[in-house]
Structure 1
């Protein structure tokens, strides 16, 4: 089956599969056959280069991709082939659990998704679900930026100052207050007023998107 698969690959894919010295970066869009190429690469490493399956680690971003890749490898080489295929998060969690004492954590830790964090904040701080979600989102953004909460506050203040410089603090506060009132009384308005407000909301979302990513405009 491996030889049959190799004949279906493009010359560039075959080049990637046969590459054996040093790292290799593959850049390609969705649906272009990256997973197929990596699967063929793994099979060739085992069957043609004599590399032991337990010496190979394949990491993906999604559970579905990991399951699919593992299935493809076993279809090519047989069910007895045990290649480690996992998501980045699952592999890192396993690595930390195996070295929990060195990492200074319990080996029974649980990884919180953003929604889990929001639920915990909601329960422990006795706040509203919306506020809890905002807190969780703020924490997630700080983690994405690899900065502390204090640094994130400084970052937000910088963005806020830039916004006030653009529209003026008083004008911004007035606009924000008026818009919140409009949203909170949306159900009391007639259809024409609701239609107008929806258009304003769309403009606001566009503006906020621009403010978050000014370089994309």
Structure 2
């Protein structure tokens, strides 16, 4: 729990993790919000890369390439590649997708390492219903690559719209393992130990009952 606590402390300090009332992309009203875009300094991204690198090494998963979905996954993939080299002497390449198609110059949907027949780790910041992850999976599968795992900073563990694409669907149907630095349960456990933040627990628990998987 120490490294999980360290990440939550870090996120609160940078105001990337907040409590209140937030409207999500899904239309849901959430009592908490995580914005990795605020972790935007050189020191921040070095730390984020280390969290991912330590988690990847601890997982003992075999992989060849890091994949960062545009846009937030791009700096994550770069930072993690650097951390793996600096701390574990692993020279791991990365790739990321374009959101806009390019018809000239370096054409194609991907930039970076060629991923055909490679084992891929997807790196993203937050997973809610799994819709965005499905999009990355589709991109990678079209390239003839194999997905080793999905790593995220925060797994909100929520149902997908109309239950069409939940985390359980990803795990059971596709057999893709999702590994997170923290989950909503870790966040609630953290709040239990903080007298000031403890007041937010009922809202998180109620939200979890309504949308959680």
Q: TM-score range by the shorter chain?
A: under 0.3
Greater RCO, 1 or 2 (C-alpha within 8 Å, sep 6+): 2
Structure of greater Rg: 1
TM-score by length of 1: 0.25
Where is the strand percentage greater, Structure 1 or Structure 2?
2
Where is the helix percentage greater, Structure 1 or Structure 2?
1
